[in-house]
Structure 1
Amino acid sequence: MSKFTGDAKKLLEKVGGSENISVVTHCATRMRFVLNDPEKADVDAIEDIDMVKGTFTQAGQFQVIIGNEVASFYNEFTKMAGVGDTSKEDAKEAAKQNMNILQRLVSHLADIFTPIIPALVVGGLILGFRNVIGDIEMLENGTLTLADSSQFWAGLYDFLWLIAEAIFHFLPVALTWSISRKMGTTQVLGIILGLTLISPQLLNAYEVVETTEIPMWDFGFFQIEMIGYQAQVIPAILAGFVLAYLEIGLRKIIPQVVSMIFVPFFALLPTVIIAHVVLGPIGWTIGTWISNIVYDGLTSAVGWLFAAVFGFAYAPLVITGLHHMTNAIDLQLMSEFGGTNLWPMIALSNIAQGSAVVAMIYINRKDKKEQQVTIPAAISCYLGVTEPALFGVNLRYLFPLFAGMAGSAVAAVISVGSGVMANSIGVGGIPGILSIQVPHMLMFAVAMIAAIVIPFILTVVLSKTKMGVDAYKRLGK
């Protein structure tokens, strides 16, 4: 009998038994259940189990926080429950049965962007390094950059653009590939579709202005503009889904014996034509509208109000999963304006929630069990992964959540009010300063200080109020 046997048996009983488990898997710290009847799970009793550090429900999954020993606990649990192992993708698909239409839409959007986020983060860091090398005049009494002072640094500055260009200018390729991967269609067709949107034959999207003479494909009775969609998000997403659904539909009607020939041909060729004639121009227009509305709102006379609302509301958006929508907006802002003023607020919100957890570490410094959750949660939050902090700590107590939201709102006002822009999406926490454009790094640092200090002080203060006392009573502490 292992040390996990007793708690695993209790958890199995309190989630409603094996017959109530549709799918179970685990990540770095949590077990993820898709339950046939979520109402059968006794949440209070589950949270009283010694190995359990907290619970929450997100994206149709009931998640139980175990900690660093989750893999061993999971093995003992599944052996006892008689539930077979399954992949995270299977768990996601099963979980969608418990989602409403909006949740499914957001889940699909998350599935598209999640595989390419590591590349976007790397791209943001590389642009940050290029800023340090080529834009900060740190030598010769503030008159020379590193790139100006040495051929090595100049060469490195130029070389790093190779990677940044591949990530951001060629973004449509990543998006169309990710959609084909998600939809279970032919991934190489998704890649080829993306390449047709950024081909060297096409006029680069960054070179298009009102006075530009646009080349045409001339078919005699009609013409198609030869415009590329470098860094464009919405045209790539629209084209990617058209290709996927065409391929899925064709596979149902074309005999399998000739499907290898005719399915790719009749899926790809019409999609490329539709993408350049219809979807590209429409997607570009929609993307421009969205980016202009967000940018104009944040830079208007009442931009501080937009910033305060977004900063305050971002953590609840993470709780609901709606935050995945901001990825597309950030990328569109980067395409239109050469940077994003939205992403810095996201990084500041993460820092603020992490600071609230740090305050809980201080408040509960004598509670060793609590620190098994709070310390890893704070570290991951400062590095941009907020779910352990939000669900494992702040949402359970509530008052740290509100303290973090308040600190985030103040930091967002400072960021937007001083015109802070990021090169791109980056590490959504303290290292995020590397993705901030050089002229704005100082003010972003000021906003970071606000995001650290305000939530910490507010959390400590609120813990002594009725709100804090009630939270401790509710949790039996």
Structure 2
Amino acid sequence: MSKYTDPAKELLEHIGGKDNIAAVTHCATRMRFVLNDPSKAAIEKIKSIKLVKGTFTQAGQFQVIIGNEVALFYNDFIKLAGVDSTTKDEAKVAAKQNMNWLQRMMAHLADIFTPLIPALVVGGLILGFRNVIGDIKLLDNGTKTIIEVSQFWAGVHSFLWLIGEAVFHFLPVGITWSIAKKMGASQILGIVLGITLVSPQLLNAYAVADAKDIPVWDFGFAQVEMIGYQAQVIPAILAGLLLAFLETRLRKIVPNSISMIVVPFLALIPTVLIAHTILGPIGWTIGSAISNVVYTSLTSAFGWLFAAIFGFAYAPLVITGLHHMTNAIDLQLMSELGGTNLWPMIALSNIAQGSAVLAMIYINRKNEEEKQVSIPACISCYLGVTEPAMFGINLKYGFPFLAAMLGSMCAAVISVGTDVMANSIGVGGLPGILSIQPQHMAMFAISMAVAIVIPFILTMIFAKTGIKKIAFKK
């Protein structure tokens, strides 16, 4: 008998038994259940299990926070419960039975962009580093940049653009691949479709505004503009969805004997044509409108109000899963403006949640059992992973979550009020400063300080006032 046997038995009982489990898998810190009847889960009893650090429901999955031991616990649990191991993708499919249409849409959006995040983070860090050595005059009494003085760093600056261009200019290739993978279409066709949107044969999207003559494909009776969609998000999404729709439908009606030849041909060629004649222009217009609305909102006289609302509400959005929509907006802002002023607020919200946990560590410093949960949660939160902090500590007590939201709001107002811009999506915690454009790093550092200090102080104050009692009131 292992140390996980008894907790596993308790969890199985309180989850509603084996018959209530439609699917179960795990991630880095959590057990992820798809339950046939979520109401059968005795949440308070589950939280009382010593190994459990918290619970929450997201994207149709009932998630139980275990911590770094989750893989070992999971192995014992599925043996005890007599259920089959499930992959994350299978669990996501099963979870749709517990999701409404909005949650399903957000889940689809998350599935598209999540595989791209590692590349986007790397790309953002590269752009930030290139800006430091190539744009800021740090040498010779502030008259020269590093690349103007050193040939080595000039070579590094040029070389790194190879990666930066691949990540951002050719982003549509990643998007169409990701959609093809998710929708069950041929991934190589998704890649080919993406390349047709950014081919060197086309007029680069960044040159369209200044172009006097746009090249065209002349079919005699009609002409199609040869415009590329470098860094464009929505045109790539629309094209990818059309390809996946056509291919999966054609597979159902085309005989297997000729499917290998007919299906790719009839799926890819119409998609590429429609992408360049209809979907591309429409997607470009929609994307530009979205980025303009967001950017105008953040830079207008009422930008502080937009920032305050977003900073205050982002953490609750994470609970619902609606925060995934910000990835598409961030990427659209990057393509239109060369950076995003939305993502810095997300990083600040994560920091604020960690700071509230830091205060709880101090408040409960004599509680050794609590520290086993709160210290790892605080560290992971400062490194950009907020779930253990939010669900294991802040939502458990209530008032730290409110303190973090208020601190995030104040930090967001400062960030937006000083026009802080990030190169791209980055690590959503303290390391996030590495993705900030160099000229804004000082103000972002101040915003970070606010996101650390205010939630800490407010959590301490709330713990000693009536706010704490209100938070615990049933």
Which residue in the other structure is 1:288 paired with?
Answer: 288
Q: What is the Cα deviation at residue 465 of structure 1?
A: 1.8
Residues 352 and 408, structure 1, Cα contact 8 Å, conserved in 2: yes
Which residue in the other structure is 1:128 paired with?
Answer: 128
Equivalenced residue count is 474
Q: What is the Cα deviation at residue 211 of structure 1?
A: 5.2
Quote the Cα distance in structure 2 between the aligned partners of 1:395 and 1:366. Answer: 21
Q: What is the Cα deviation at residue 395 of structure 1?
A: 1.3
Which residue in the other structure is 1:457 paired with?
Answer: 457
Residues 67 and 372, structure 1, Cα contact 8 Å, conserved in 2: no
Quote the Cα distance in structure 2 between the aligned partners of 1:10 and 1:423. Answer: 47
Which residue in the other structure is 2:84 paired with?
Answer: 84
Q: What is the Cα deviation at residue 212 of structure 1?
A: 2.9
Which residue in the other structure is 1:39 paired with?
Answer: 39
Q: What is the Cα deviation at residue 136 of structure 1?
A: 2.2
Quote the Cα distance in structure 2 between the aligned partners of 1:294 and 1:8. Answer: 47
Which residue in the other structure is 1:311 paired with?
Answer: 311
Which residue in the other structure is 1:373 paired with?
Answer: 373
Q: What is the Cα deviation at residue 467 of structure 1?
A: 2.7
Which residue in the other structure is 1:276 paired with?
Answer: 276
Quote the Cα distance in structure 2 between the aligned partners of 1:406 and 1:330. Answer: 23
**What RMSD, in angstroms, separates the aligned Cα atoms of the two structures?**
1.2
Which residue in the other structure is 1:209 paired with?
Answer: 209
Quote the Cα distance in structure 1 between the aligned partners of 2:473 and 2:236. Answer: 51
Q: Secondary structure at the residue paired with 1:57?
A: strand
Which residue in the other structure is 1:190 paired with?
Answer: 190
**Is 1:53 paired with 2:50?**
no
Q: Secondary structure at the residue paired with 2:385?
A: coil
Gaps (5+ residues) in structure 1? none
Indicate how the Cα distance of structure 1 residues 79 and 143 shifts in structure 2: closer, same or farther if over 3 A, else same.
Answer: same
Q: Secondary structure at the residue paired with 1:224?
A: strand
Residues 55 and 62, structure 2, Cα contact 8 Å, conserved in 1: yes
Q: What is the Cα deviation at residue 6 of structure 1?
A: 1.4
Quote the Cα distance in structure 2 between the aligned partners of 1:471 and 1:297. Answer: 33
More displaced, 59-68 or 325-334? Answer: 59-68
Quote the Cα distance in structure 2 between the aligned partners of 1:67 and 1:251. Answer: 43
Q: How does 1:424-463 map to 2 (within 5 A)?
A: 424-463=424-463
Which residue in the other structure is 1:468 paired with?
Answer: 468
- What amino acid does structure 2 have at the position aligned with 1:316? P
Quote the Cα distance in structure 1 between the aligned partners of 2:3 and 2:182. Answer: 39
**Is 1:390 paired with 2:383?**
no
Which residue in the other structure is 1:264 paired with?
Answer: 264
Q: Report Cα offsets for 1:94-133 as digits up to 9, x if no partner.
A: 1111000000000000000000000000000111111121
Residues 384 and 429, structure 2, Cα contact 8 Å, conserved in 1: yes
Q: Secondary structure at the residue paired with 1:6?
A: helix
Q: Secondary structure at the residue paired with 1:229?
A: coil
Q: Secondary structure at the residue paired with 2:262?
A: helix
Residues 287 and 332, structure 1, Cα contact 8 Å, conserved in 2: yes
Give me the identity figure in percent: 73
Which residue in the other structure is 2:116 paired with?
Answer: 116
**Is 1:324 paired with 2:334?**
no
Residues 422 and 435, structure 1, Cα contact 8 Å, conserved in 2: yes
Q: What is the Cα deviation at residue 350 of structure 1?
A: 0.9
Residues 183 and 244, structure 2, Cα contact 8 Å, conserved in 1: yes
Residues 53 and 370, structure 1, Cα contact 8 Å, conserved in 2: no
Quote the Cα distance in structure 1 between the aligned partners of 2:439 and 2:234. Answer: 30
More displaced, 143-152 or 119-128? Answer: 143-152
Residues 398 and 472, structure 2, Cα contact 8 Å, conserved in 1: no
Quote the Cα distance in structure 1 between the aligned partners of 2:402 and 2:37. Answer: 31
Which residue in the other structure is 1:346 paired with?
Answer: 346
Which residue in the other structure is 1:16 paired with?
Answer: 16
- What amino acid does structure 2 have at the position aligned with 1:360? M
Which residue in the other structure is 1:234 paired with?
Answer: 234
More displaced, 126-135 or 318-327? Answer: 126-135
Residues 112 and 178, structure 2, Cα contact 8 Å, conserved in 1: yes
Residues 177 and 188, structure 2, Cα contact 8 Å, conserved in 1: yes
Which residue in the other structure is 2:400 paired with?
Answer: 400
Q: What is the Cα deviation at residue 466 of structure 1?
A: 2.3
Q: What is the Cα deviation at residue 386 of structure 1?
A: 1.3
- What amino acid does structure 1 have at the position aligned with 2:378? A
Q: Report Cα offsets for 1:214-266 as digits up to 9, x if no partner.
A: 11100111000000000000000000000000001100110001000000000
- What amino acid does structure 2 have at the position aligned with 1:435? S
Q: What is the Cα deviation at residue 65 of structure 1?
A: 1.2
More displaced, 382-391 or 314-323? Answer: 382-391
- What amino acid does structure 2 have at the position aligned with 1:326? T
**Is 1:159 paired with 2:159?**
yes
Q: Secondary structure at the residue paired with 2:57?
A: strand
Quote the Cα distance in structure 2 between the aligned partners of 1:393 and 1:20. Answer: 27
Q: Secondary structure at the residue paired with 1:427?
A: coil
**Is 1:95 paired with 2:90?**
no
Which residue in the other structure is 1:139 paired with?
Answer: 139
Quote the Cα distance in structure 2 between the aligned partners of 1:188 and 1:68. Answer: 36
Q: Report Cα offsets for 1:61-87 as digits up to 9, x if no partner.
A: 111111222122111111110011110
Q: Report Cα offsets for 1:162-219 as digits up to 9, x if no partner.
A: 0000000000000000000001110000000000000011000000116531111001
Quote the Cα distance in structure 1 between the aligned partners of 2:473 and 2:202. Answer: 65
- What amino acid does structure 1 have at the position aligned with 2:279? L
